[in-house]
Amino acid sequence: MNFLNILKDIEAIDPEITERLNPRRAAIKNITSFGSKIALSALPFALGTMFTKAYGQTNSSVNDVLNFALTLEYLEADFYTKGNAAINSTIPSEAARGALKQIEKDENAHVAFLKSVLKDAAIAKPTFDFEKVFPTVFTDYPTYLAVSQVLEDTGVRAYKGQAPSLLGNKVVLTAALGIHAVEARHASHIRQMRRALPTSGAGVFGVETPWVSLGANGQANDSGVGTAVDGNYVREDNIKHGDVTITDLKLSTGANISKKIAVESFDEPLTTAEVLAIANMFIVKK
Amino acid sequence: MKVFETTEKEEQAENDTFLSKKMQRRNFLTYAGASAAGLALVAAGCKKDHDNGFNRGTDLGKGDIGILNYAYALEQLEAAFYIKVVTTPYTNMSSLETEYMTAIRDHEVTHREYFKAALGNSAIPGLQVDFSSIDFKSRDQVLAAAKAFEDLGVEAYNGAGYLIKTPAYLTMAGKIVSVEARHAALIRDLISNGTFVGTDIFDANAINNSKTPIQVLTIAKKYIVTEINASNLPTS
């Protein structure tokens, strides 16, 4: 490992690098933002050496997380880019159109960001086919929103599941948490849009909450999309965190916390394998 | 039963073998100026003595316990706020808004009670809050405050994530922060539909902002009467 040469290389691009690096920890943690020049030009290169040295995180493990995230963002960006164009005339209001456009823009920004960080290590965009799983997704507006919600909720769970792999990593973990929160904001809004759907006639779903709640029949999958997406909501009905069983605790009213509130109050992570299995449903094999 | 017991013991061990706060000061005086080691302690001492307004009062603690107490403090603030919102609803609160405010109250109380149970003996006491600057009859004021609390909560968890050393605690923070983000989006949409994201909360890469504990506490201080000592929180 030629650490000093790497620092010299970075210095050529970012003269302040040595000031930013805390010499006692030799850590990239002190680089405060991905927006700095080093992030865009040399970060993946710097990551491997310094993380291995300081935290035992290898370049490949951090890149694996970033490529995993990129796969998801490719999927989401592709969904909205194709879907918003296809369903445009069916979107019932300018507000809804604007929200879907905003989400499309955000997902594409996430793709661009992850690609800029990964550079040559970035995986190629897979080919996605959403209609093979949900044939009417790009023609039926309520179905479009339902699948959108499932993808956003899954994105939240996927990022959450990766966080421990980035433990202590100021730059990458903080960015991942920042994307995680934006996916949650999207999910919240899409769920509100579903709730605003007509309460009778075609496209009825019923009551939806901005957060993942307990299903109507007490099941973990509250989406109303059916068992096809049970995997996306597996364990969302968990009520025990560490040694604390939430339903043993009390609300401000003095009543015990209900299972519904316990479920709503915490989003659960998905494992890498679970997320890839979900993503693979939509990926066209070559 | 306490989830954080192991860390609590480690913290205690560290306290026993090294520095109680008084010992820290004594070491500072003993070694100041005496040696290279002394210089390091001078630097540490000076940093601690720098008054950012959060170096006296209720001690959040250090390490992961400190971060969890920091989260507990914020959840206390949010829970107290929504309890008041539901108890004294603003004028013309719709039935849907009442449903949402009640649910958010219950989520925040759940977060608060979770931290209290998990922290056990390491938990800070209940904080005294002050919402006298908010007119709870005014929808605009209540929603503006709710938006500030929710967005701040998201930024707080995101800014503290890398300071957490135990994977399970990081996951736990993650389980809560996305629910705060869902709340934030909802409240923002109640104020103006379609503002679930915006340039005030994320950057050009559509990555949510984050804030350091001191930045967060500086904003939250307006609503917290109890003095909070954050000087033992990890900074890296």
Nearest chain A Cα to B111, which residue? A265
> Distance between CA atoms of B114 and A259, rounded to whole angstroms?
14
Residue A209 forms contact with B (CB below 8 Å): yes
Percent of chain B with pLDDT over 70: 79
Residue A97 C-alpha, separation from nearest chain B C-alpha, in angstroms: 10
One-letter amino acid for residue A193 of the chain: M
Q: Do B208 and A106 make contact, defined as CB atoms within 8 angstroms? A: no
Nearest chain A Cα to B4, which residue? A242
Q: Of the candidates B103, B171, B184, which has its C-beta nearest A269's C-beta?
A: B171
Residue B110 C-alpha, separation from nearest chain A C-alpha, in angstroms: 7
Number of helices (H) and strands (E), helices first, in chain B?
8, 2
Q: Are strands B58-59 and B228-229 parallel, antiparallel or unpaired?
A: parallel
At residue A245, the 3 state secondary structure works out as strand
Q: Of the candidates A106, A241, A242, which has its C-beta nearest B197's C-beta?
A: A106
Kindly list the residues from chain B whose CB atom is less than 8 angstroms away from the CB atom of residue A250. 113
CA distances B57 to A233, B41, B60, B212, B220, Å, are: 43, 23, 9, 19, 15
Nearest chain A Cα to B189, which residue? A189
Q: Do B167 and A181 make contact, defined as CB atoms within 8 angstroms? A: no
Closest CA to A14 of A34, A26, A90: A34
| Stretch 35-64 of chain A: residues touching chain B, C-beta under 8 Å | 35
CA distances A246 to A275, B120, B177, B184, Å, are: 26, 15, 17, 23
pLDDT score at B53 = 87
Residue A24 C-alpha, separation from nearest chain B C-alpha, in angstroms: 12
Interface test with B, best of A188, A209, A261 (most B CBs within 10 A): A188
Residue spans of chain A under pLDDT 70: 1-59, 199-207
Q: Are A54 and A73 in contact (CB under 8 A)?
A: no
Which pLDDT tens digits describe chain B residue by residue (236 residues)?
Answer: 455 544 444 444 443 333 334 334 444 333 333 444 434 444 444 444 567 889 999 999 999 999 999 999 999 999 999 999 999 999 999 999 999 999 999 999 999 999 999 999 999 999 999 999 999 999 999 999 999 999 999 999 999 999 999 999 999 999 999 999 999 999 999 999 999 999 999 999 999 999 999 999 999 999 999 999 999 999 99
One-letter amino acid for residue A155 of the chain: G
Greatest alpha-carbon pair distance for chain B in Å reads 69
Residue A117 forms contact with B (CB below 8 Å): no
> Distance between CA atoms of B39 and B33, rounded to whole angstroms?
6
Q: Do A182 and B206 make contact, defined as CB atoms within 8 angstroms? A: yes
- The ipTM estimated for the assembled molecules is 0.82
Identify the H or E element spanning A244.
Answer: strand A244-245
- R_g (Cα) of chain A, nearest Å: 21
For A255-271, letters b (16+ CB in 10 Å) and e give eebbebbbbbbbbbbbe
Interface test with B, best of A185, A194, A266 (most B CBs within 10 A): A185
| DSSP line for B73-137 | HHHHHHHHHHHHHHHSPPTT--HHHHHHHHHHHHHHHHHHHHHHHHHGGGPPPPPPB--TTS-TT
pLDDT score at A3 = 36
Residue A12 C-alpha, separation from nearest chain B C-alpha, in angstroms: 25
pLDDT digits (tens, 9 = 90+) for B138-180: 999 999 999 999 999 999 999 999 999 999 999 999 999 999 9
